[in-house]
Amino acid sequence: MKITVFGTGYVGLVTGSCLADVGHNVICMDVDADRIARLEAGEMPIFEPGLAAMVERNVEAGRLSFTTDARSAVAFGVLQFIAVGTPPDEDGGADLQYVLAVADTIGRYMNDYRVIVDKSTVPVGTADRVHQRVAGALESRGVALEYDVCSNPEFLKEGAAIEDFTRGARIIVGTDSDRVQELMRDCYAPYNRNHDKLMFMDVRAAELTKYAANAMLATKISFMNEIANLAERLGADIEAVRRGIGSDPRIGYHFIYPGCGYGGSCFPKDVQALARTAHQNDYHAELLDAVEHVNDRQKRTLFQKLSRAFDGELAGRTIALWGLAFKPNTDDMREAPSRTLMEALWAAGARVQAYDPEAMQECRRIYGERDDLTLVADRVQAVQGADALVIVTEWKEFRTLDFEWLKSQLSLPVLIDGRNLYDPETVREAGLMYYAVGRGKSLQTAPQVAMTD
Ligand code: UDX
Protein backbone atom coordinates (compact mmCIF):
# COMPACT_ATOMS: atom_id res chain seq x y z
CA MET A 1 0.00 0.00 0.00
CA LYS A 2 1.23 3.54 -0.71
CA ILE A 3 1.04 5.86 2.24
CA THR A 4 1.94 9.52 2.74
CA VAL A 5 2.64 10.97 6.16
CA PHE A 6 2.68 14.74 6.70
CA GLY A 7 4.91 15.74 9.58
CA THR A 8 8.20 14.17 10.64
CA GLY A 9 7.91 14.92 14.32
CA TYR A 10 7.43 12.33 16.95
CA VAL A 11 4.13 10.89 15.77
CA GLY A 12 4.79 11.21 12.04
CA LEU A 13 8.18 9.51 12.14
CA VAL A 14 7.00 6.64 14.32
CA THR A 15 3.88 6.13 12.19
CA GLY A 16 5.78 6.33 8.90
CA SER A 17 8.59 4.02 9.89
CA CYS A 18 6.34 1.44 11.61
CA LEU A 19 4.09 1.27 8.54
CA ALA A 20 7.13 0.90 6.26
CA ASP A 21 8.51 -1.81 8.55
CA VAL A 22 5.56 -4.10 7.77
CA GLY A 23 5.98 -3.64 4.03
CA HIS A 24 4.02 -0.54 3.07
CA ASN A 25 5.63 2.08 0.87
CA VAL A 26 5.80 5.31 2.80
CA ILE A 27 6.76 8.88 1.99
CA CYS A 28 7.19 11.27 4.89
CA MET A 29 6.75 14.91 3.93
CA ASP A 30 7.80 17.95 5.92
CA VAL A 31 8.02 21.64 5.07
CA ASP A 32 11.22 21.88 7.13
CA ALA A 33 13.96 21.29 4.52
CA ASP A 34 16.66 21.16 7.15
CA ARG A 35 14.90 18.41 9.06
CA ILE A 36 14.35 16.38 5.88
CA ALA A 37 18.01 16.75 4.93
CA ARG A 38 19.05 15.52 8.36
CA LEU A 39 16.64 12.58 8.18
CA GLU A 40 18.04 11.66 4.80
CA ALA A 41 21.47 11.65 6.38
CA GLY A 42 20.16 9.24 9.05
CA GLU A 43 19.95 11.82 11.83
CA MET A 44 16.90 11.54 14.11
CA PRO A 45 15.29 14.79 15.29
CA ILE A 46 14.13 13.07 18.50
CA PHE A 47 15.41 10.40 20.82
CA GLU A 48 13.20 7.31 20.77
CA PRO A 49 14.54 3.81 21.46
CA GLY A 50 14.70 1.70 18.29
CA LEU A 51 13.57 4.45 15.94
CA ALA A 52 16.89 5.25 14.24
CA ALA A 53 17.51 1.60 13.37
CA MET A 54 13.98 1.16 12.09
CA VAL A 55 14.22 4.26 9.88
CA GLU A 56 17.60 3.15 8.56
CA ARG A 57 16.55 -0.37 7.59
CA ASN A 58 13.40 0.84 5.83
CA VAL A 59 15.20 3.59 3.95
CA GLU A 60 17.78 1.01 2.84
CA ALA A 61 15.00 -1.37 1.75
CA GLY A 62 13.53 1.44 -0.36
CA ARG A 63 10.21 1.44 1.50
CA LEU A 64 10.66 4.74 3.34
CA SER A 65 11.67 8.09 1.91
CA PHE A 66 11.53 11.73 2.85
CA THR A 67 10.54 14.76 0.84
CA THR A 68 9.72 18.45 1.02
CA ASP A 69 7.83 18.29 -2.26
CA ALA A 70 4.13 18.54 -1.38
CA ARG A 71 2.89 17.82 -4.90
CA SER A 72 4.62 14.44 -5.12
CA ALA A 73 3.66 13.60 -1.53
CA VAL A 74 -0.04 14.15 -2.29
CA ALA A 75 0.28 12.18 -5.53
CA PHE A 76 1.86 9.23 -3.70
CA GLY A 77 -0.43 7.68 -1.11
CA VAL A 78 -4.10 6.87 -1.19
CA LEU A 79 -3.89 7.35 2.58
CA GLN A 80 -2.64 10.80 3.58
CA PHE A 81 -1.83 10.85 7.30
CA ILE A 82 -1.76 14.24 9.00
CA ALA A 83 0.73 13.97 11.85
CA VAL A 84 1.80 17.58 12.34
CA GLY A 85 1.98 19.44 15.63
CA THR A 86 -0.97 20.94 17.46
CA PRO A 87 0.75 23.17 20.01
CA PRO A 88 -1.36 24.85 22.67
CA ASP A 89 -2.66 28.26 21.61
CA GLU A 90 -2.93 31.27 23.92
CA ASP A 91 -6.19 30.06 25.48
CA GLY A 92 -5.01 26.50 26.16
CA GLY A 93 -6.78 25.13 23.08
CA ALA A 94 -5.03 23.25 20.27
CA ASP A 95 -3.58 25.47 17.54
CA LEU A 96 -4.80 23.88 14.30
CA GLN A 97 -2.95 26.03 11.79
CA TYR A 98 -0.53 23.26 10.76
CA VAL A 99 -3.28 20.64 10.43
CA LEU A 100 -5.41 22.94 8.31
CA ALA A 101 -2.41 23.94 6.18
CA VAL A 102 -1.92 20.25 5.29
CA ALA A 103 -5.63 20.03 4.38
CA ASP A 104 -5.13 23.01 2.03
CA THR A 105 -2.08 21.33 0.50
CA ILE A 106 -3.92 18.06 -0.13
CA GLY A 107 -6.86 19.94 -1.69
CA ARG A 108 -4.47 21.94 -3.88
CA TYR A 109 -2.60 18.97 -5.36
CA MET A 110 -4.87 15.91 -5.26
CA ASN A 111 -5.93 14.42 -8.57
CA ASP A 112 -7.54 11.20 -7.39
CA TYR A 113 -9.50 9.72 -4.47
CA ARG A 114 -7.73 10.34 -1.17
CA VAL A 115 -8.38 9.41 2.45
CA ILE A 116 -7.14 12.09 4.81
CA VAL A 117 -6.32 10.48 8.13
CA ASP A 118 -6.16 12.77 11.17
CA LYS A 119 -3.45 11.28 13.38
CA SER A 120 -2.58 14.46 15.25
CA THR A 121 -4.45 15.03 18.49
CA VAL A 122 -7.16 17.45 17.46
CA PRO A 123 -10.30 18.82 19.10
CA VAL A 124 -13.62 17.19 18.40
CA GLY A 125 -14.98 18.61 15.15
CA THR A 126 -11.58 18.99 13.44
CA ALA A 127 -12.29 16.30 10.83
CA ASP A 128 -15.24 18.43 9.70
CA ARG A 129 -12.97 21.47 9.42
CA VAL A 130 -10.39 19.48 7.46
CA HIS A 131 -13.18 18.32 5.17
CA GLN A 132 -14.26 21.91 4.54
CA ARG A 133 -10.72 23.11 3.85
CA VAL A 134 -10.15 20.40 1.25
CA ALA A 135 -13.54 21.21 -0.29
CA GLY A 136 -12.57 24.90 -0.43
CA ALA A 137 -9.25 24.13 -2.13
CA LEU A 138 -10.90 21.86 -4.69
CA GLU A 139 -13.57 24.43 -5.38
CA SER A 140 -11.04 27.14 -6.08
CA ARG A 141 -9.39 24.80 -8.59
CA GLY A 142 -12.82 24.15 -10.13
CA VAL A 143 -12.45 20.38 -9.82
CA ALA A 144 -14.71 17.79 -8.21
CA LEU A 145 -12.88 14.83 -6.64
CA GLU A 146 -13.93 12.27 -4.09
CA TYR A 147 -12.21 12.15 -0.72
CA ASP A 148 -12.90 11.14 2.87
CA VAL A 149 -11.58 12.38 6.17
CA CYS A 150 -11.22 9.96 9.08
CA SER A 151 -9.87 10.16 12.60
CA ASN A 152 -7.19 7.71 13.71
CA PRO A 153 -5.75 9.01 16.99
CA GLU A 154 -2.37 7.84 18.25
CA PHE A 155 -1.76 6.37 21.70
CA LEU A 156 2.03 6.45 21.74
CA LYS A 157 4.01 6.82 24.92
CA GLU A 158 7.35 8.52 24.50
CA GLY A 159 10.11 6.00 25.12
CA ALA A 160 7.83 3.10 24.15
CA ALA A 161 6.30 4.53 20.98
CA ILE A 162 7.31 1.68 18.66
CA GLU A 163 6.01 -0.92 21.07
CA ASP A 164 2.76 1.03 21.44
CA PHE A 165 2.34 1.34 17.67
CA THR A 166 3.07 -2.29 16.96
CA ARG A 167 1.41 -3.86 20.02
CA GLY A 168 -1.06 -1.20 21.14
CA ALA A 169 -4.29 -2.08 22.95
CA ARG A 170 -6.53 -0.75 20.17
CA ILE A 171 -6.59 0.96 16.80
CA ILE A 172 -9.36 3.54 16.73
CA VAL A 173 -10.79 4.68 13.40
CA GLY A 174 -13.56 7.24 13.21
CA THR A 175 -15.41 7.09 9.90
CA ASP A 176 -18.84 6.50 8.43
CA SER A 177 -17.49 5.22 5.10
CA ASP A 178 -17.16 1.52 4.18
CA ARG A 179 -14.46 2.37 1.68
CA VAL A 180 -12.35 3.99 4.39
CA GLN A 181 -12.92 1.04 6.72
CA GLU A 182 -11.57 -1.31 4.08
CA LEU A 183 -8.49 0.82 3.35
CA MET A 184 -7.72 1.28 7.03
CA ARG A 185 -8.10 -2.47 7.60
CA ASP A 186 -5.53 -3.07 4.84
CA CYS A 187 -3.20 -0.47 6.31
CA TYR A 188 -3.25 -1.97 9.80
CA ALA A 189 -3.68 -5.67 8.85
CA PRO A 190 -0.03 -6.52 9.74
CA TYR A 191 -0.58 -5.13 13.24
CA ASN A 192 -3.97 -6.75 13.66
CA ARG A 193 -3.27 -10.44 13.42
CA ASN A 194 -4.03 -12.21 16.69
CA HIS A 195 -7.26 -10.53 17.68
CA ASP A 196 -9.18 -7.70 16.08
CA LYS A 197 -7.91 -4.47 17.59
CA LEU A 198 -9.59 -2.23 15.06
CA MET A 199 -12.49 -0.29 16.48
CA PHE A 200 -14.64 1.67 14.07
CA MET A 201 -16.83 4.44 15.40
CA ASP A 202 -18.17 7.79 14.34
CA VAL A 203 -15.59 10.51 13.72
CA ARG A 204 -16.46 12.61 16.75
CA ALA A 205 -16.35 9.61 19.09
CA ALA A 206 -12.85 8.77 17.79
CA GLU A 207 -11.69 12.35 18.31
CA LEU A 208 -13.13 12.40 21.83
CA THR A 209 -11.68 8.95 22.67
CA LYS A 210 -8.17 10.34 22.44
CA TYR A 211 -8.84 13.19 24.84
CA ALA A 212 -10.89 11.02 27.19
CA ALA A 213 -8.06 8.45 27.40
CA ASN A 214 -5.43 11.05 28.28
CA ALA A 215 -7.72 12.93 30.65
CA MET A 216 -8.61 9.68 32.45
CA LEU A 217 -4.92 8.78 32.86
CA ALA A 218 -4.06 12.29 34.05
CA THR A 219 -6.96 12.06 36.51
CA LYS A 220 -5.55 8.84 37.97
CA ILE A 221 -2.22 10.54 38.56
CA SER A 222 -3.66 13.71 40.07
CA PHE A 223 -5.92 11.60 42.25
CA MET A 224 -2.95 9.63 43.57
CA ASN A 225 -0.95 12.79 44.13
CA GLU A 226 -3.83 14.26 46.09
CA ILE A 227 -4.04 11.15 48.29
CA ALA A 228 -0.23 11.17 48.66
CA ASN A 229 -0.31 14.73 49.96
CA LEU A 230 -2.99 13.71 52.38
CA ALA A 231 -0.97 10.62 53.41
CA GLU A 232 1.95 12.89 54.31
CA ARG A 233 -0.25 14.87 56.61
CA LEU A 234 -1.83 11.79 58.15
CA GLY A 235 1.38 9.84 58.65
CA ALA A 236 0.31 7.06 56.27
CA ASP A 237 2.51 5.46 53.62
CA ILE A 238 1.11 6.03 50.12
CA GLU A 239 3.09 3.07 48.75
CA ALA A 240 1.09 0.73 50.98
CA VAL A 241 -2.10 2.52 49.98
CA ARG A 242 -1.15 2.19 46.29
CA ARG A 243 -0.68 -1.54 46.61
CA GLY A 244 -3.84 -1.83 48.66
CA ILE A 245 -6.09 -0.12 46.14
CA GLY A 246 -4.30 -1.50 43.07
CA SER A 247 -5.21 -5.04 44.11
CA ASP A 248 -8.83 -4.29 43.23
CA PRO A 249 -9.00 -5.12 39.52
CA ARG A 250 -11.51 -2.31 39.04
CA ILE A 251 -8.69 0.06 40.01
CA GLY A 252 -5.60 -1.87 38.90
CA TYR A 253 -1.91 -1.35 39.56
CA HIS A 254 -1.15 0.62 36.41
CA PHE A 255 -0.71 4.34 36.33
CA ILE A 256 -1.33 5.02 40.00
CA TYR A 257 2.19 6.03 40.93
CA PRO A 258 2.32 9.25 42.89
CA GLY A 259 5.16 11.57 42.02
CA CYS A 260 6.15 15.17 41.37
CA GLY A 261 3.44 15.73 38.75
CA TYR A 262 2.83 14.67 35.17
CA GLY A 263 4.48 16.47 32.28
CA GLY A 264 5.11 15.88 28.60
CA SER A 265 3.50 16.95 25.41
CA CYS A 266 0.16 15.21 25.93
CA PHE A 267 -1.43 15.20 29.36
CA PRO A 268 -1.04 18.90 30.24
CA LYS A 269 -2.07 20.05 26.77
CA ASP A 270 -4.91 17.57 26.30
CA VAL A 271 -6.51 18.08 29.71
CA GLN A 272 -6.50 21.83 29.06
CA ALA A 273 -7.82 21.47 25.53
CA LEU A 274 -10.66 19.19 26.64
CA ALA A 275 -11.64 21.59 29.42
CA ARG A 276 -11.67 24.36 26.84
CA THR A 277 -13.82 22.32 24.43
CA ALA A 278 -16.25 21.76 27.30
CA HIS A 279 -16.31 25.48 28.05
CA GLN A 280 -16.97 26.32 24.39
CA ASN A 281 -19.93 23.98 24.57
CA ASP A 282 -21.34 25.71 27.65
CA TYR A 283 -20.17 23.05 30.07
CA HIS A 284 -17.85 23.64 32.99
CA ALA A 285 -15.74 20.47 33.29
CA GLU A 286 -14.90 20.91 36.98
CA LEU A 287 -13.07 17.63 37.34
CA LEU A 288 -10.71 18.45 34.46
CA ASP A 289 -9.93 21.85 35.97
CA ALA A 290 -9.16 20.14 39.28
CA VAL A 291 -6.89 17.56 37.62
CA GLU A 292 -4.84 20.36 36.11
CA HIS A 293 -4.82 22.41 39.27
CA VAL A 294 -3.66 19.48 41.42
CA ASN A 295 -0.87 18.78 38.92
CA ASP A 296 0.36 22.40 38.89
CA ARG A 297 0.47 22.28 42.66
CA GLN A 298 2.24 18.91 42.64
CA LYS A 299 5.00 20.19 40.38
CA ARG A 300 5.76 22.83 43.02
CA THR A 301 6.04 20.37 45.91
CA LEU A 302 9.72 19.52 45.28
CA PHE A 303 10.67 23.15 45.78
CA GLN A 304 8.41 23.47 48.80
CA LYS A 305 10.02 20.44 50.42
CA LEU A 306 13.48 21.82 49.75
CA SER A 307 12.52 25.21 51.00
CA ARG A 308 11.13 23.72 54.21
CA ALA A 309 14.21 21.55 54.71
CA PHE A 310 16.41 24.65 54.37
CA ASP A 311 14.12 26.83 56.45
CA GLY A 312 13.46 29.04 53.43
CA GLU A 313 17.16 29.89 53.08
CA LEU A 314 18.01 28.67 49.62
CA ALA A 315 19.99 31.64 48.36
CA GLY A 316 23.57 30.64 47.61
CA ARG A 317 22.83 26.92 47.97
CA THR A 318 23.76 24.39 45.30
CA ILE A 319 21.08 21.82 44.62
CA ALA A 320 21.87 18.63 42.71
CA LEU A 321 19.19 17.33 40.34
CA TRP A 322 19.05 13.80 39.02
CA GLY A 323 16.78 13.79 36.00
CA LEU A 324 15.53 16.60 33.79
CA ALA A 325 13.31 14.79 31.26
CA PHE A 326 9.59 14.63 32.13
CA LYS A 327 9.97 10.84 32.38
CA PRO A 328 12.69 8.23 31.67
CA ASN A 329 13.73 7.10 28.18
CA THR A 330 13.12 10.43 26.53
CA ASP A 331 14.97 13.73 26.13
CA ASP A 332 11.68 15.63 26.24
CA MET A 333 11.43 18.40 28.82
CA ARG A 334 8.08 19.82 27.82
CA GLU A 335 6.09 20.68 30.97
CA ALA A 336 8.66 18.71 32.99
CA PRO A 337 8.55 19.05 36.80
CA SER A 338 12.33 19.70 36.65
CA ARG A 339 11.61 23.04 34.97
CA THR A 340 9.19 24.17 37.69
CA LEU A 341 11.80 23.20 40.29
CA MET A 342 14.80 24.81 38.57
CA GLU A 343 12.96 28.04 37.87
CA ALA A 344 11.80 28.26 41.49
CA LEU A 345 15.35 27.56 42.72
CA TRP A 346 16.83 30.26 40.51
CA ALA A 347 14.19 32.72 41.66
CA ALA A 348 15.23 31.88 45.24
CA GLY A 349 18.90 32.53 44.42
CA ALA A 350 20.04 28.89 44.43
CA ARG A 351 22.30 27.16 41.91
CA VAL A 352 21.42 23.96 40.08
CA GLN A 353 23.89 21.19 39.29
CA ALA A 354 22.08 18.67 37.10
CA TYR A 355 22.54 15.38 35.31
CA ASP A 356 20.20 13.56 32.94
CA PRO A 357 21.19 10.62 30.69
CA GLU A 358 19.43 12.11 27.63
CA ALA A 359 17.97 15.55 28.20
CA MET A 360 20.98 17.77 28.85
CA GLN A 361 21.22 19.06 25.32
CA GLU A 362 17.53 19.89 25.44
CA CYS A 363 18.06 21.66 28.76
CA ARG A 364 20.86 23.73 27.23
CA ARG A 365 18.62 24.58 24.28
CA ILE A 366 15.84 25.79 26.60
CA TYR A 367 17.87 27.71 29.17
CA GLY A 368 21.14 28.52 27.38
CA GLU A 369 24.28 29.28 29.34
CA ARG A 370 23.57 30.50 32.86
CA ASP A 371 25.80 30.99 35.88
CA ASP A 372 23.29 29.26 38.11
CA LEU A 373 23.04 26.11 35.99
CA THR A 374 25.79 23.51 35.65
CA LEU A 375 25.16 20.41 33.59
CA VAL A 376 27.52 17.58 34.46
CA ALA A 377 28.49 14.31 32.82
CA ASP A 378 27.22 11.85 35.41
CA ARG A 379 25.25 11.49 38.62
CA VAL A 380 28.37 11.38 40.77
CA GLN A 381 29.54 14.79 39.59
CA ALA A 382 26.06 16.21 40.13
CA VAL A 383 26.28 15.76 43.89
CA GLN A 384 29.88 16.94 44.28
CA GLY A 385 29.89 20.13 46.32
CA ALA A 386 26.08 20.17 46.42
CA ASP A 387 24.02 20.94 49.50
CA ALA A 388 21.15 18.55 48.75
CA LEU A 389 19.98 16.11 46.10
CA VAL A 390 16.59 16.00 44.38
CA ILE A 391 15.52 13.07 42.23
CA VAL A 392 13.12 14.33 39.59
CA THR A 393 13.06 11.56 36.95
CA GLU A 394 13.11 7.85 37.72
CA TRP A 395 15.84 6.79 35.24
CA LYS A 396 16.84 3.17 35.87
CA GLU A 397 20.40 4.11 36.79
CA PHE A 398 19.09 6.05 39.82
CA ARG A 399 17.40 3.02 41.33
CA THR A 400 20.41 1.93 43.29
CA LEU A 401 22.22 4.37 45.48
CA ASP A 402 24.92 4.08 48.13
CA PHE A 403 23.32 6.23 50.80
CA GLU A 404 26.45 6.40 53.00
CA TRP A 405 28.40 7.68 50.03
CA LEU A 406 25.70 10.23 49.22
CA LYS A 407 25.75 11.49 52.78
CA SER A 408 29.50 11.98 52.55
CA GLN A 409 29.08 14.05 49.38
CA LEU A 410 26.35 16.46 50.41
CA SER A 411 27.03 19.40 52.67
CA LEU A 412 23.60 18.83 54.21
CA PRO A 413 22.17 15.33 54.31
CA VAL A 414 18.97 16.12 52.41
CA LEU A 415 17.57 13.75 49.79
CA ILE A 416 14.28 14.72 48.15
CA ASP A 417 12.83 11.92 46.07
CA GLY A 418 10.07 12.95 43.67
CA ARG A 419 9.56 9.37 42.49
CA ASN A 420 9.60 7.22 45.66
CA LEU A 421 12.56 5.14 44.53
CA TYR A 422 13.90 4.01 47.89
CA ASP A 423 12.88 2.39 51.12
CA PRO A 424 12.56 5.26 53.63
CA GLU A 425 13.83 3.18 56.57
CA THR A 426 17.05 2.21 54.76
CA VAL A 427 17.74 5.77 53.68
CA ARG A 428 17.11 7.20 57.11
CA GLU A 429 19.28 4.55 58.76
CA ALA A 430 22.15 5.89 56.67
CA GLY A 431 21.60 9.25 58.33
CA LEU A 432 19.96 11.09 55.46
CA MET A 433 16.90 13.31 55.79
CA TYR A 434 14.67 11.64 53.24
CA TYR A 435 11.60 13.38 51.86
CA ALA A 436 9.65 11.36 49.31
CA VAL A 437 6.05 11.72 48.10
CA GLY A 438 3.31 10.68 50.51
CA ARG A 439 5.54 8.45 52.58
CA GLY A 440 4.53 9.10 56.13
CA LYS A 441 4.87 12.32 58.03
CA SER A 442 8.06 13.11 56.16
CA LEU A 443 8.04 16.86 56.22
CA GLN A 444 5.47 17.41 58.88
CA THR A 445 7.33 15.78 61.72
CA ALA A 446 10.92 15.54 60.52
CA PRO A 447 13.24 17.81 62.46
CA GLN A 448 14.65 20.67 60.45
CA VAL A 449 18.15 20.25 59.14
CA ALA A 450 20.60 22.16 61.30
CA MET A 451 21.78 25.11 59.26
CA THR A 452 25.53 25.38 58.99
CA ASP A 453 27.61 27.38 56.57
C1 UDX B 1 0.89 9.78 27.28
C2 UDX B 1 -0.06 8.57 27.13
O3 UDX B 1 0.35 7.52 28.01
C4 UDX B 1 -0.13 8.11 25.70
O5 UDX B 1 -1.07 7.05 25.59
C6 UDX B 1 -0.55 9.29 24.85
O7 UDX B 1 -0.65 8.94 23.49
C8 UDX B 1 0.42 10.45 25.01
O9 UDX B 1 0.49 10.80 26.39
P10 UDX B 1 3.53 10.16 27.47
O11 UDX B 1 3.20 11.61 27.66
O12 UDX B 1 4.60 9.80 26.53
O13 UDX B 1 2.22 9.35 26.98
O14 UDX B 1 3.94 9.58 28.89
P15 UDX B 1 3.39 8.61 30.02
O16 UDX B 1 4.31 7.48 30.17
O17 UDX B 1 1.96 8.31 29.84
O18 UDX B 1 3.59 9.54 31.30
C19 UDX B 1 3.00 10.83 31.40
C20 UDX B 1 3.37 11.51 32.69
O21 UDX B 1 2.70 10.92 33.78
C22 UDX B 1 4.85 11.48 33.04
O23 UDX B 1 5.24 12.76 33.50
C24 UDX B 1 4.95 10.46 34.16
O25 UDX B 1 6.01 10.71 35.02
C26 UDX B 1 3.60 10.65 34.83
N27 UDX B 1 3.13 9.44 35.53
C28 UDX B 1 2.79 8.32 34.84
C29 UDX B 1 2.98 9.47 36.92
O30 UDX B 1 3.28 10.48 37.58
N31 UDX B 1 2.47 8.36 37.54
C32 UDX B 1 2.11 7.23 36.88
O33 UDX B 1 1.65 6.28 37.52
C34 UDX B 1 2.29 7.22 35.48
Q: Known catalytic residues?
A: 266
Query: Between 445 and 52, where is the model more confident?
Result: 52
Q: Is pLDDT of 34 > 90? A: yes
The confidence score (pLDDT) of residue 442 equals 58
Ligand 1 neighbours, Cβ below 6 Å, are: 154-158, 214, 217, 221, 255-257, 259, 262-264, 266-267, 326-327
**Could you report how far apart the first and last alpha carbons of the chain are, in Å?**
69
Residues 6+ apart with CB under 8 A from 428: 434
Q: Give binding residues for NAD(+) as ranges.
A: 30, 35, 86, 121, 158, 269, 334
Atom 1, ligand 1: residue with shortest CA distance: 157
Q: State the DSSP code for 447.
A: P
The confidence score (pLDDT) of residue 103 equals 98
ipTM above threshold 0.90: yes
Q: Which of 74-88, 132-146, 288-302, 435-449 has the lowest mean pLDDT?
A: 435-449
Q: Tell me the average pLDDT across 201-220.
A: 97
Q: Give binding residues as ranges.
A: 30, 35, 86, 121, 155-158, 210, 255-259, 263, 269, 327, 334
96 with 70: CB under 8 angstroms?
Answer: no
Atom of ligand 1 nearest to the CA of 153: 7
62 with 13: CB under 8 angstroms?
Answer: no
The confidence score (pLDDT) of residue 441 equals 64
Domains, in order of start, for the chain: 2-201 (3.40.50.720), 231-453 (3.40.50.720)
Predicted model pTM: 0.91
- Angstrom distance (rounded) from CA 447 to CA 453: 18
Atom 15, ligand 1: residue with shortest CA distance: 157
The confidence score (pLDDT) of residue 433 equals 94
The confidence score (pLDDT) of residue 320 equals 98
- Angstrom distance (rounded) from CA 393 to CA 341: 12
Strand (E) positions, 61-110? 64-67, 79-82
